[in-house]
Amino acid sequence: MAKELLKGNVAMAEAAVRAGCEAYFGYPITPQTELLEHMAARMPELGRAFVQAESEVAAINMVYGAACTGKRVMTTSSSPGVSLMMEGISYIAGTEVPMVLIDVMRGGPGLGNIAPAQGDYTQMVHGGGHGDYKTIVLAPASVQEAIDLTALAFDLADKYRAIVVVLADGSLGQMMEPAELPEMQPLKKQLPDWAITGEPGRDRRLLTSIYLQPEDEETTNIRLQRRWMEIEANEVRYQEYFLDDAEIVLVGFGTAGRVALSAIRHARAEGIKVGLFRPVSLSPFPAEALRLVARKAKAMLVVEMNAGQMLNDVRLVTQGACPVDFYGRMGGVVPLPDEILSEIMRLARFTPHDLNGHTRAAWLDRLEVVRGAK
Amino acid sequence: MVATDIQNAKLVYERPESLADVATHYCPGCTHGTAHRLVAEVLDEMGIREHSIGVASVGCSVFSYNYFDMDFVQAAHGRAPAMATGVKRVFPDRTVFTYQGDGDLASIGMAEIMHAAARGENITVIFINNAIYGMTGGQMAPTTLPGMKTTSSPRGRDVETQGYPIRMSEILATLDGVSYVVRRSLHNPAEIRKSKKAIRYAFETQQRGLGFSMVELLSSCPTNWGMTPLDSLTFIEDKMVPAFPLGDYKVIDAVKSMKWKEG
């Protein structure tokens, strides 16, 4: 297929259709609405299920029901809507049925705004719903990658009976880029042996997340943990840019990683040895790879569109192998390459040996200066 | 001679195939067991047990999947109609039903039931109204009668501060997506027979693709009402029926004219 100019939201929707998504349930919310609208047009014309639910709570529970049939199923939303889905996500995780969720993140907390942000890192990567469960979280940085990861999400969901989240943001959802869509995949012919299908001539099946005996619930938890270790061993994904000789290493995902890369190209032109580590799977987190990078780096700068939600994970993983600094914008503000470039320049002039735990306080002080300059 | 008698005896009453051969956890005198049996008999008589998918709710009927012998999923509290929507949209040719109590359906799940009905989802809802939260130990429900004592309305439901009971069948009957909604009761054999007939109508409605169907069943909760089983049946007749009148709230013409062979 040839490249075409595609809007992120539409591209992800069509990628899901072509990956064999048989049921979609969603609720309108900006900045992901075109995704729902595309599914509203496409799914019925293909004879597949589409329901505009009365709320995100209902949407995720419709997904829950459809996921129990073993067919490929998806919902999409944006940050406040995803918060509402947390109940269903926990149930779906506890029932061990596969589903795909695309979260096109926006500014928060609260109603926030409809501008791009990355404030859902913690709620998606570290849970949000109750109980011990993990979701696979994939963070694209371009429309093409959003297409590819959406297709991958369905495969991973099926393989591990897992919830797979494509964590995009408003800019990825709204931007148009040349990208190539995959071929239409055939629909799943064989349903798994746990699927609720109402098929005559076999023993009845049950899918539930209630195990009244604590020992039984613990057995389920052990199974979830074991499966997660398998995912950690096999499904780590990341991208490295200019890291061969890098002294300063930027760490950023999605749009923040993409803006960081622009800044890095400018800095390289100035002769600064700086590179980028971009986690693609935020969960499982590319811990081992990042640890190796940290051992060779003089300093790291984590760049995010939040107050440093991934920063905590980077610190945990690198365990002081190098100083870890932070720069972020919040509330829907996207950092400009120039802002990140001046951060790189700062670290190039003065590479800290130790940040004394004041990383965030110092960042907020610098941020006030950046804001005051406008 | 006894053995000969048994050989010639005609079996007139047995466990429906749709009902699993296990003891239930329901309290003595609770009418959940009656409601389960009626649903099971109807599914047997229609020959659709193996094509059916049940959606269990949260409340005393949370374990209903242990008692019905067919594929089942377990919904989150109040979300059974949404989950049933998900199943039904993927498998339109299967019989999909929810079995929900009053707290589940009329309180936390109000949005889900209203919109499933408004969409005319081709599912069947069995709604057990016993005016109380059973599983959590007898708290006030959206259908608790004015003045009725519960553990969260210990001086009796005060309508000034705790509002009035919700009549779901009447509300749902206003929606164009609803094809069949009736209220019946389980407090005596005559009403039980009428209840079964209503359940048959509801499932026949779904089988014919006619849209949303619900049977509300007034039910007893001797344990949490603090009554003997017998007194609780009298309570249904004397107190609940006047507050929740029995009757057909919406039966579209296509449902009225349905015919089937009794078997």
The Cα A274–Cα A290 span in angstroms is: 15
DSSP one-letter string for A152-197 = HHHHHHHHHT-EEEEEEEHHHHH-EEEE-PPPPPPPP-SPPTT---
The Cα A369–Cα A141 span in angstroms is: 28
Length of chain A, in residues: 374
Considering the domain architecture, whether residues A132 and A208 belong to the same structural domain is answered as yes
User: Do residues A64 and A97 make contact, with C-beta atoms less than 8 angstroms apart?
Assistant: yes
Considering the domain architecture, whether residues A268 and A320 belong to the same structural domain is answered as yes
Indicate whether B4 belongs to any domain. no
Instruction: Please give the structure tokens belonging to residue A42.
Output: 């496409």
The SS3 call for residue A259 is helix
The Cα B86–Cα B105 span in angstroms is: 17
**Residues of chain A contacting residue B71, judged by C-beta atoms under 8 Å apart:** 196-199, 204-206
Nearest residue in B to A207, CA atom: B73
How confident is the model over A74-92, as pLDDT tens digits? 999 999 999 999 999 999 9
Considering the domain architecture, whether residues A16 and A100 belong to the same structural domain is answered as yes
According to DSSP, the residues that pair with A178 across neighbouring strands are A5
- Which of B74, B79, B84 comes nearest A210 by C-beta? B74
The distance of B140 to chain A (nearest Cα, Å) reads: 24
For A356, phi and psi rounded to 5 degrees? 50, 20
Residue from A88, A220, A70 nearest A154 by CA: A70
Instruction: Please give the structure tokens belonging to residue A341.
Output: 């470039």
Indicate whether B16 belongs to any domain. no
Q: Radius of gyration of chain B from Cα atoms?
A: 18
Mean of per-residue pLDDT scores for chain A: 96
Listed in sequence order, the residues at least 6 apart from B90 whose beta carbon sits closer than 8 Å to its beta carbon are A22, A23, A49, A65, A66, A69, A71, A73
pLDDT at A62: 98
How confident is the model over A244-300, as pLDDT tens digits? 999 999 999 999 999 999 999 999 999 999 999 999 999 999 999 999 999 999 999
Residue range(s) defining the domain that contains residue A112 = 4-234
Report how many Cβ contacts below 8 Å link chain A to chain B. 127
Indicate whether B63 belongs to any domain. yes
Considering the domain architecture, whether residues A206 and A252 belong to the same structural domain is answered as no
Listed in sequence order, the residues at least 6 apart from B22 whose beta carbon sits closer than 8 Å to its beta carbon are B66, B67
Indicate whether B220 belongs to any domain. yes
DSSP H/E element including A297: none
Does the CB of A86 have a partner CB in chain B at under 8 Å?
A: no
Does the CB of B53 have a partner CB in chain A at under 8 Å?
A: yes
- Which of B50, B90, B115 comes nearest A54 by C-beta? B115
Listed in sequence order, the residues at least 6 apart from A283 whose beta carbon sits closer than 8 Å to its beta carbon are A124, A125, A134, A135, A136, A137
Considering the domain architecture, whether residues A80 and A62 belong to the same structural domain is answered as yes
Considering the domain architecture, whether residues A251 and A360 belong to the same structural domain is answered as yes
Residue range(s) defining the domain that contains residue B133 = 27-148+160-255
The bridge status of strand A248-251 relative to strand A274-279 is parallel
Number of C-beta neighbours around residue B144 at 10 A: 27
ipTM over the 0.90 cut-off = yes
The Cα B66–Cα B72 span in angstroms is: 9
For A175, phi and psi rounded to 5 degrees? -75, 155
Write the CATH number for A312: 3.40.50.920
Does the CB of B55 have a partner CB in chain A at under 8 Å?
A: yes
Does the CB of B117 have a partner CB in chain A at under 8 Å?
A: no
Write the CATH number for A72: 3.40.50.970
Q: With bands split at pLDDT 50, 70 and 90, how would you rate the model's confidence at A355?
A: confident
User: Do residues B115 and A53 make contact, with C-beta atoms less than 8 angstroms apart?
Assistant: yes
**Residues of chain B contacting residue A87, judged by C-beta atoms under 8 Å apart:** 76
How many CA atoms lie within 13 Å of B40's alpha carbon, on the beta-carbon side? 21
How confident is the model over A151-173, as pLDDT tens digits? 999 999 999 999 999 999 999 99
Does the CB of B50 have a partner CB in chain A at under 8 Å?
A: yes
Nearest residue in A to B118, CA atom: A54
**Residues of chain A contacting residue B76, judged by C-beta atoms under 8 Å apart:** 61, 64, 87-88, 91
Write the CATH number for B225: 3.40.50.970
User: Do residues B244 and B129 make contact, with C-beta atoms less than 8 angstroms apart?
Assistant: yes
Please check the confidence at residue B3 and state whether its pLDDT lies above 60: no
Please check the confidence at residue B1 and state whether its pLDDT lies above 80: no
How confident is the model over A315-334, as pLDDT tens digits? 999 999 999 999 999 999 99
Instruction: Please give the structure tokens belonging to residue A150.
Output: 């959406």
Does the CB of B113 have a partner CB in chain A at under 8 Å?
A: no
CB contact under 8 A, B65 and A208: yes
Q: Structurally, how many domains does chain B consist of? A: 1
Residue from A28, A262, A352, A7 nearest A146 by CA: A7
Does the CB of B42 have a partner CB in chain A at under 8 Å?
A: no
CB contact under 8 A, A204 and B90: no
Q: What percent of chain B has pLDDT over 70?
A: 97
How confident is the model over B146-172, as pLDDT tens digits? 999 999 999 999 999 999 999 999 999
Indicate whether B154 belongs to any domain. no
pLDDT at B4: 59
Q: Structurally, how many domains does chain A consist of? A: 2
**Residues of chain A contacting residue B111, judged by C-beta atoms under 8 Å apart:** 54-55, 57-58
User: Do residues A129 and A90 make contact, with C-beta atoms less than 8 angstroms apart?
Assistant: yes
Please check the confidence at residue B263 and state whether its pLDDT lies above 70: no
CB contact under 8 A, A58 and B115: yes
Indicate whether B42 belongs to any domain. yes
Residue from B64, B76, B48, B24 nearest B260 by CA: B48
- The residue type of A182 is P
The SS3 call for residue A254 is helix
Best residue of A25, A27, A208 to probe chain B, by most B CBs closer than 10 Å: A208
The Cα B148–Cα B150 span in angstroms is: 6
Does the CB of A203 have a partner CB in chain B at under 8 Å?
A: no
Q: With bands split at pLDDT 50, 70 and 90, how would you rate the model's confidence at A335?
A: very high
Indicate whether B31 belongs to any domain. yes
Indicate the residue among A183, A203, A234 that finishes a domain: A234
Indicate whether B75 belongs to any domain. yes
Does the CB of A91 have a partner CB in chain B at under 8 Å?
A: yes
pLDDT at B5: 66
The Cα B191–Cα B197 span in angstroms is: 10
Considering the domain architecture, whether residues A117 and A37 belong to the same structural domain is answered as yes
How far CA A24 is from CA of A13, A37, A191, B113, B118, in Å, comes to 10, 11, 18, 19, 19
Considering the domain architecture, whether residues A262 and A288 belong to the same structural domain is answered as yes
Helix axes A8-18, A33-45, angle to 10 degrees: 30
Indicate the residue among A182, A203, A234 that finishes a domain: A234
The Cα B125–Cα B212 span in angstroms is: 8
Considering the domain architecture, whether residues A199 and A250 belong to the same structural domain is answered as no
How far CA B256 is from CA of A251, B195, B213, in Å, comes to 67, 16, 13
DSSP one-letter string for chain B = -HHHHHHHPPP-----TTB-SS---PPTT-THHHHHHHHHHHHHHHT-GGGEEEEE-SSGGGGHHHHB-SEEEEPPTT-HHHHHHHHHHH-TTSEEEEEEEHHIIIIITHHHHHHHHHTT-S-EEEEEE-SEETTTTSEE-TTPPTT--BTTBTT---HHHH-----HHHHHTT-TTEEEEEEEE-SSHHHHHHHHHHHHHHHHHHHTT--EEEEEEE---HHHHT--HHHHHHHIIIIIHHHS--EEEEE-HHHHT------
The distance of A46 to chain B (nearest Cα, Å) reads: 13
The bridge status of strand B178-185 relative to strand B247-251 is antiparallel
